Amino acid sequence: MERRAVVAGIGVAVPPAFDQRVMWDTHFSGALAGSRAAERIFAASGVRTRHAVADPRSEDVAHWSTAARMRRYAEAAPPLAHQAVTAALADAGLDAGDIGLLAVASCTGYGTPGVDIALAGSLPLDPRARRLLVGHMGCYAALPGLDSVSDYVNANGRPAVLLCLELTSLHAQPPTDDPEQIVCHALFGDAAVALVLRPDRGPGLRVVDTAWRTHPDTSDHMTWHVTDLGFRMSLSRRVPDVLGVEVELLAKDLLDPHGLTAADVDHWAVHPGGPRILTVVEQGLGLPDTALAESRRVLADYGNCSSATVGLILRRLAPAPGETVVAMAFGPGLTLSGALMVAEP
Protein backbone atom coordinates (compact mmCIF):
# COMPACT_ATOMS: atom_id res chain seq x y z
CA MET A 1 0.00 0.00 0.00
CA GLU A 2 1.30 3.44 -0.92
CA ARG A 3 1.86 5.50 2.21
CA ARG A 4 0.32 8.91 1.69
CA ALA A 5 -0.88 9.83 5.20
CA VAL A 6 0.44 13.27 6.12
CA VAL A 7 0.59 14.89 9.56
CA ALA A 8 -1.10 18.13 8.51
CA GLY A 9 -1.87 19.71 11.89
CA ILE A 10 -0.59 19.65 15.46
CA GLY A 11 -2.31 21.14 18.50
CA VAL A 12 -1.09 21.45 22.10
CA ALA A 13 -2.86 22.10 25.39
CA VAL A 14 -1.21 22.24 28.81
CA PRO A 15 -2.37 23.02 32.37
CA PRO A 16 -0.67 25.70 34.54
CA ALA A 17 3.14 25.90 34.50
CA PHE A 18 5.46 25.48 37.48
CA ASP A 19 9.09 26.55 37.73
CA GLN A 20 11.29 23.56 38.61
CA ARG A 21 13.49 25.43 41.08
CA VAL A 22 10.54 27.11 42.79
CA MET A 23 8.77 23.75 43.05
CA TRP A 24 11.85 22.26 44.70
CA ASP A 25 12.19 25.13 47.15
CA THR A 26 8.49 25.31 48.09
CA HIS A 27 7.48 21.65 48.05
CA PHE A 28 9.89 18.87 47.16
CA SER A 29 12.69 20.05 49.42
CA GLY A 30 10.39 19.60 52.41
CA ALA A 31 8.71 16.46 51.09
CA LEU A 32 12.11 14.83 50.52
CA ALA A 33 13.59 16.01 53.82
CA GLY A 34 15.97 18.45 52.16
CA SER A 35 17.98 15.60 50.67
CA ARG A 36 21.12 16.88 48.95
CA ALA A 37 21.07 13.85 46.66
CA ALA A 38 17.46 14.61 45.67
CA GLU A 39 18.32 18.26 45.05
CA ARG A 40 21.14 17.19 42.73
CA ILE A 41 18.74 14.91 40.82
CA PHE A 42 16.30 17.80 40.35
CA ALA A 43 19.08 20.15 39.24
CA ALA A 44 20.47 17.61 36.75
CA SER A 45 17.07 16.66 35.29
CA GLY A 46 17.30 19.12 32.40
CA VAL A 47 13.84 20.46 33.33
CA ARG A 48 13.18 24.16 33.92
CA THR A 49 9.37 24.23 33.68
CA ARG A 50 6.61 21.64 33.99
CA HIS A 51 2.83 21.75 33.76
CA ALA A 52 0.45 20.02 36.15
CA VAL A 53 -3.30 19.70 36.73
CA ALA A 54 -2.62 19.12 40.44
CA ASP A 55 -0.41 21.44 42.49
CA PRO A 56 1.27 19.33 45.22
CA ARG A 57 1.76 22.46 47.32
CA SER A 58 -1.98 22.78 47.86
CA GLU A 59 -3.19 19.22 47.25
CA ASP A 60 -1.70 16.13 48.85
CA VAL A 61 -1.81 14.15 45.61
CA ALA A 62 0.89 11.74 46.76
CA HIS A 63 -1.48 10.23 49.31
CA TRP A 64 -4.63 10.19 47.19
CA SER A 65 -6.22 6.85 46.42
CA THR A 66 -6.18 5.61 42.85
CA ALA A 67 -9.93 6.25 42.68
CA ALA A 68 -9.43 9.90 43.66
CA ARG A 69 -6.72 10.30 41.03
CA MET A 70 -9.00 8.82 38.35
CA ARG A 71 -11.78 11.23 39.34
CA ARG A 72 -9.44 14.17 38.82
CA TYR A 73 -8.33 12.70 35.48
CA ALA A 74 -11.97 12.48 34.39
CA GLU A 75 -12.44 16.15 35.30
CA ALA A 76 -9.22 17.57 33.87
CA ALA A 77 -8.59 15.49 30.75
CA PRO A 78 -11.61 16.34 28.53
CA PRO A 79 -11.07 20.14 28.44
CA LEU A 80 -7.38 19.70 27.59
CA ALA A 81 -8.26 17.09 24.98
CA HIS A 82 -10.83 19.36 23.36
CA GLN A 83 -8.40 22.29 23.26
CA ALA A 84 -5.60 20.23 21.69
CA VAL A 85 -7.80 18.56 19.06
CA THR A 86 -9.59 21.74 17.99
CA ALA A 87 -6.20 23.49 17.64
CA ALA A 88 -4.86 20.61 15.51
CA LEU A 89 -7.98 20.61 13.31
CA ALA A 90 -7.63 24.36 12.77
CA ASP A 91 -3.95 23.89 11.92
CA ALA A 92 -4.92 21.28 9.32
CA GLY A 93 -7.84 23.30 7.94
CA LEU A 94 -10.39 20.59 8.76
CA ASP A 95 -13.64 20.34 10.69
CA ALA A 96 -14.43 17.71 13.31
CA GLY A 97 -17.04 16.21 10.98
CA ASP A 98 -14.28 15.34 8.49
CA ILE A 99 -12.62 12.92 10.93
CA GLY A 100 -13.08 9.20 10.31
CA LEU A 101 -11.04 7.93 13.28
CA LEU A 102 -10.16 9.36 16.68
CA ALA A 103 -7.37 7.51 18.52
CA VAL A 104 -6.50 8.41 22.11
CA ALA A 105 -3.20 7.34 23.69
CA SER A 106 -2.91 7.61 27.47
CA CYS A 107 -1.38 5.63 30.30
CA THR A 108 -2.29 7.97 33.17
CA GLY A 109 -6.06 7.73 33.42
CA TYR A 110 -8.92 5.34 32.72
CA GLY A 111 -12.70 5.34 32.83
CA THR A 112 -15.65 4.64 30.61
CA PRO A 113 -17.17 6.67 29.09
CA GLY A 114 -13.69 8.10 28.54
CA VAL A 115 -11.95 11.02 26.86
CA ASP A 116 -12.72 9.67 23.39
CA ILE A 117 -16.46 9.65 24.07
CA ALA A 118 -16.30 13.09 25.70
CA LEU A 119 -14.62 14.40 22.54
CA ALA A 120 -17.22 12.71 20.36
CA GLY A 121 -19.78 14.98 22.01
CA SER A 122 -17.79 18.19 22.49
CA LEU A 123 -16.24 18.49 19.01
CA PRO A 124 -18.64 16.91 17.85
CA LEU A 125 -17.54 13.90 15.80
CA ASP A 126 -19.63 12.32 13.09
CA PRO A 127 -21.66 9.59 14.87
CA ARG A 128 -20.19 7.07 12.43
CA ALA A 129 -16.57 7.95 13.29
CA ARG A 130 -14.40 5.18 14.71
CA ARG A 131 -12.65 5.43 18.07
CA LEU A 132 -9.52 3.67 19.32
CA LEU A 133 -7.86 3.70 22.75
CA VAL A 134 -4.11 3.05 23.00
CA GLY A 135 -3.72 2.37 26.70
CA HIS A 136 -0.89 1.83 29.20
CA MET A 137 1.92 1.58 26.63
CA GLY A 138 3.80 4.43 28.30
CA CYS A 139 6.21 6.92 26.78
CA TYR A 140 6.45 5.30 23.35
CA ALA A 141 2.68 5.09 22.71
CA ALA A 142 2.63 8.03 20.28
CA LEU A 143 4.44 6.02 17.61
CA PRO A 144 2.26 2.87 17.71
CA GLY A 145 -0.63 5.32 17.68
CA LEU A 146 0.80 7.12 14.66
CA ASP A 147 1.37 3.76 12.96
CA SER A 148 -2.26 2.67 13.45
CA VAL A 149 -3.78 6.02 12.54
CA SER A 150 -1.69 6.37 9.36
CA ASP A 151 -2.70 2.83 8.36
CA TYR A 152 -6.36 3.85 8.74
CA VAL A 153 -5.83 6.98 6.65
CA ASN A 154 -4.02 5.03 3.92
CA ALA A 155 -6.63 2.27 3.82
CA ASN A 156 -9.75 4.44 4.03
CA GLY A 157 -8.75 7.71 2.43
CA ARG A 158 -10.19 9.75 5.32
CA PRO A 159 -8.58 12.10 7.86
CA ALA A 160 -7.91 10.89 11.39
CA VAL A 161 -6.76 12.30 14.73
CA LEU A 162 -4.25 10.95 17.23
CA LEU A 163 -4.50 12.49 20.69
CA CYS A 164 -1.76 11.80 23.25
CA LEU A 165 -2.88 12.99 26.68
CA GLU A 166 -0.93 12.35 29.85
CA LEU A 167 -1.56 13.71 33.36
CA THR A 168 1.49 12.31 35.09
CA SER A 169 1.17 14.75 38.02
CA LEU A 170 -1.74 12.63 39.25
CA HIS A 171 0.64 9.79 40.04
CA ALA A 172 3.01 11.50 42.44
CA GLN A 173 4.16 8.93 44.99
CA PRO A 174 4.65 9.38 48.75
CA PRO A 175 8.01 10.79 49.94
CA THR A 176 10.88 8.34 49.56
CA ASP A 177 14.65 8.09 49.46
CA ASP A 178 14.49 5.71 46.47
CA PRO A 179 16.56 7.39 43.70
CA GLU A 180 14.34 5.92 40.96
CA GLN A 181 11.26 7.54 42.48
CA ILE A 182 13.06 10.85 43.01
CA VAL A 183 13.95 10.85 39.30
CA CYS A 184 10.25 10.41 38.52
CA HIS A 185 9.39 13.31 40.85
CA ALA A 186 11.91 15.48 39.00
CA LEU A 187 11.09 14.62 35.38
CA PHE A 188 7.41 14.23 34.58
CA GLY A 189 4.85 16.81 33.46
CA ASP A 190 1.35 17.00 31.96
CA ALA A 191 0.38 17.76 28.35
CA ALA A 192 -2.09 16.98 25.59
CA VAL A 193 -0.94 16.88 21.96
CA ALA A 194 -3.13 16.11 18.95
CA LEU A 195 -1.97 15.20 15.45
CA VAL A 196 -4.30 15.39 12.44
CA LEU A 197 -3.43 13.12 9.51
CA ARG A 198 -4.81 13.67 6.01
CA PRO A 199 -4.83 11.24 3.06
CA ASP A 200 -2.97 13.46 0.63
CA ARG A 201 0.44 14.86 -0.23
CA GLY A 202 -0.37 18.36 1.00
CA PRO A 203 1.85 20.33 3.38
CA GLY A 204 3.01 18.34 6.38
CA LEU A 205 4.99 15.27 7.36
CA ARG A 206 4.27 12.15 5.30
CA VAL A 207 4.60 8.98 7.36
CA VAL A 208 6.92 6.81 5.26
CA ASP A 209 7.65 3.87 7.56
CA THR A 210 7.75 2.67 11.16
CA ALA A 211 9.85 0.17 13.10
CA TRP A 212 9.80 -1.54 16.50
CA ARG A 213 12.19 -3.51 18.66
CA THR A 214 10.90 -5.29 21.78
CA HIS A 215 13.03 -7.08 24.40
CA PRO A 216 10.89 -8.93 26.95
CA ASP A 217 14.04 -10.09 28.77
CA THR A 218 14.53 -6.47 29.93
CA SER A 219 10.88 -5.87 30.81
CA ASP A 220 11.76 -5.24 34.46
CA HIS A 221 13.93 -2.24 33.48
CA MET A 222 10.93 0.05 33.05
CA THR A 223 7.55 -0.63 34.65
CA TRP A 224 4.28 1.20 35.28
CA HIS A 225 2.25 -0.62 37.93
CA VAL A 226 -1.24 0.17 39.18
CA THR A 227 -1.20 0.48 42.99
CA ASP A 228 -3.61 1.67 45.65
CA LEU A 229 -1.81 5.04 45.51
CA GLY A 230 -1.92 5.65 41.78
CA PHE A 231 0.41 4.26 39.14
CA ARG A 232 4.00 3.70 40.24
CA MET A 233 6.88 3.87 37.77
CA SER A 234 10.25 2.19 38.07
CA LEU A 235 13.19 3.24 35.92
CA SER A 236 16.28 1.05 36.10
CA ARG A 237 19.70 2.63 35.77
CA ARG A 238 20.36 -0.03 33.14
CA VAL A 239 17.87 1.47 30.64
CA PRO A 240 20.42 3.79 28.96
CA ASP A 241 22.87 0.89 28.56
CA VAL A 242 20.25 -1.19 26.72
CA LEU A 243 19.20 1.75 24.54
CA GLY A 244 22.82 2.47 23.68
CA VAL A 245 23.00 -0.91 21.94
CA GLU A 246 19.49 -1.19 20.54
CA VAL A 247 18.95 2.30 19.16
CA GLU A 248 21.47 1.70 16.36
CA LEU A 249 19.62 -1.49 15.40
CA LEU A 250 16.28 0.33 15.43
CA ALA A 251 17.70 3.02 13.15
CA LYS A 252 18.97 0.41 10.72
CA ASP A 253 15.59 -1.37 10.69
CA LEU A 254 13.88 1.93 9.94
CA LEU A 255 16.33 3.50 7.49
CA ASP A 256 18.04 0.66 5.58
CA PRO A 257 14.96 -0.24 3.47
CA HIS A 258 14.97 3.34 2.18
CA GLY A 259 18.70 3.53 1.45
CA LEU A 260 19.31 5.95 4.30
CA THR A 261 21.65 6.12 7.27
CA ALA A 262 21.45 8.17 10.46
CA ALA A 263 23.78 10.72 8.84
CA ASP A 264 21.18 11.30 6.09
CA VAL A 265 18.40 12.30 8.52
CA ASP A 266 17.77 16.04 8.63
CA HIS A 267 15.73 16.31 11.84
CA TRP A 268 15.30 14.17 14.95
CA ALA A 269 12.41 14.01 17.41
CA VAL A 270 13.74 11.71 20.14
CA HIS A 271 11.72 11.21 23.30
CA PRO A 272 13.69 12.82 26.16
CA GLY A 273 13.34 10.19 28.83
CA GLY A 274 16.05 12.19 30.60
CA PRO A 275 19.34 13.93 29.74
CA ARG A 276 21.33 10.69 29.85
CA ILE A 277 18.92 8.99 27.43
CA LEU A 278 19.49 11.74 24.85
CA THR A 279 23.26 11.52 25.25
CA VAL A 280 23.18 7.75 24.79
CA VAL A 281 21.08 8.08 21.61
CA GLU A 282 23.49 10.67 20.21
CA GLN A 283 26.44 8.40 20.90
CA GLY A 284 24.72 5.26 19.64
CA LEU A 285 23.79 6.89 16.33
CA GLY A 286 26.94 9.00 15.97
CA LEU A 287 24.94 12.24 15.90
CA PRO A 288 26.39 15.73 16.39
CA ASP A 289 25.69 17.55 19.66
CA THR A 290 23.07 19.76 17.99
CA ALA A 291 20.97 16.95 16.51
CA LEU A 292 18.71 16.56 19.56
CA ALA A 293 18.53 20.25 20.46
CA GLU A 294 14.72 20.36 20.18
CA SER A 295 14.37 17.27 22.35
CA ARG A 296 16.43 18.99 25.04
CA ARG A 297 14.42 22.21 24.72
CA VAL A 298 11.14 20.33 25.11
CA LEU A 299 12.52 18.54 28.17
CA ALA A 300 13.47 21.92 29.62
CA ASP A 301 10.12 23.57 28.86
CA TYR A 302 7.71 20.70 29.61
CA GLY A 303 9.54 17.84 31.30
CA ASN A 304 8.89 14.26 30.25
CA CYS A 305 5.20 14.18 29.27
CA SER A 306 5.16 10.48 28.44
CA SER A 307 3.40 9.77 25.10
CA ALA A 308 2.70 13.47 24.44
CA THR A 309 6.39 14.41 24.31
CA VAL A 310 7.22 13.35 20.74
CA GLY A 311 4.35 15.49 19.46
CA LEU A 312 5.69 18.48 21.37
CA ILE A 313 9.03 18.04 19.58
CA LEU A 314 7.48 17.55 16.13
CA ARG A 315 5.54 20.77 16.59
CA ARG A 316 8.80 22.69 16.98
CA LEU A 317 10.55 21.28 13.93
CA ALA A 318 10.52 23.24 10.67
CA PRO A 319 11.75 20.87 7.96
CA ALA A 320 12.02 22.14 4.40
CA PRO A 321 10.19 20.18 1.66
CA GLY A 322 11.97 16.91 0.99
CA GLU A 323 13.82 16.84 4.30
CA THR A 324 13.59 13.74 6.47
CA VAL A 325 12.44 13.50 10.09
CA VAL A 326 12.91 10.52 12.40
CA ALA A 327 10.91 10.22 15.61
CA MET A 328 11.94 7.74 18.30
CA ALA A 329 10.51 6.82 21.67
CA PHE A 330 11.15 4.17 24.32
CA GLY A 331 9.05 2.51 26.97
CA PRO A 332 8.12 -0.59 28.95
CA GLY A 333 8.89 -3.86 27.32
CA LEU A 334 11.72 -2.74 26.97
CA THR A 335 10.37 -1.34 23.68
CA LEU A 336 11.88 1.01 21.12
CA SER A 337 9.75 2.48 18.35
CA GLY A 338 10.54 4.79 15.47
CA ALA A 339 8.92 6.55 12.52
CA LEU A 340 10.43 7.91 9.33
CA MET A 341 8.71 10.95 7.83
CA VAL A 342 9.36 13.27 4.91
CA ALA A 343 8.27 16.91 4.71
CA GLU A 344 5.82 17.53 1.87
CA PRO A 345 5.41 20.99 0.30
Q: Kindly list the distances between the CA atom of residue 46 and the CA atoms of 20, 113, 208, 324, in Å, as whole numbers in the listed order.
A: 10, 37, 32, 27
Domain final residue pick, 198, 229, 248: 198
For 166-192, write each residue's pLDDT tens digit.
Answer: 999 999 999 888 888 899 999 999 999
List the domain range (segments joined by +) for residue 318. 204-344
For 261-310, write each residue's pLDDT tens digit.
Answer: 999 999 999 999 999 999 999 999 999 989 999 999 999 999 999 999 99
Supply the pLDDT for residue 332.
86
Residues 6+ apart with CB under 8 A from 115: 77, 78, 81, 104, 106, 109, 163, 165
Asked if residue 1 belongs to a domain, the reply is no
For 202-223, write each residue's pLDDT tens digit.
Answer: 899 999 999 999 877 777 777 8
Asked if residue 253 belongs to a domain, the reply is yes
For 59-101, write each residue's pLDDT tens digit.
Answer: 999 999 999 999 999 999 999 999 999 999 999 999 999 999 9
Domain final residue pick, 146, 173, 198: 198
Mean pLDDT of the chain: 94
Q: Are residues 210 and 237 in the same domain?
A: yes
For 244-269, write each residue's pLDDT tens digit.
Answer: 889 999 999 999 999 999 999 999 99
Asked if residue 178 belongs to a domain, the reply is yes
Judge contact between 298 and 237, C-beta under 8 A: no
Q: Is the pTM of this model over 0.85?
A: yes
Name the domain count of the chain.
2
Q: Are residues 235 and 187 in the same domain?
A: no
- CATH code for the domain in which residue 246 is found: 3.40.47.10
Q: Are residues 227 and 192 in the same domain?
A: no
Asked if residue 238 has pLDDT above 90, the reply is no
Instruction: Give the residue ranges of DSSP H helices in the chain.
Output: 20-23, 29-31, 36-43, 66-92, 115-122, 142-156, 179-187, 239-255, 275-285, 293-302, 309-316
CA–CA gap between residue 175 and residue 56 (Å, rounded): 12
The type of residue at 284 is G
Supply the pLDDT for residue 143.
97
Residues 6+ apart with CB under 8 A from 68: none
Supply the pLDDT for residue 1.
54
Q: Are residues 279 and 315 in the same domain?
A: yes
Q: Which residues are catalytically annotated?
A: 139
Q: Are residues 61 and 170 in the same domain?
A: yes
Q: Are residues 79 and 174 in the same domain?
A: yes
Q: Are residues 41 and 20 in the same domain?
A: yes
Q: Are residues 120 and 16 in the same domain?
A: yes
Judge contact between 180 and 234, C-beta under 8 A: yes
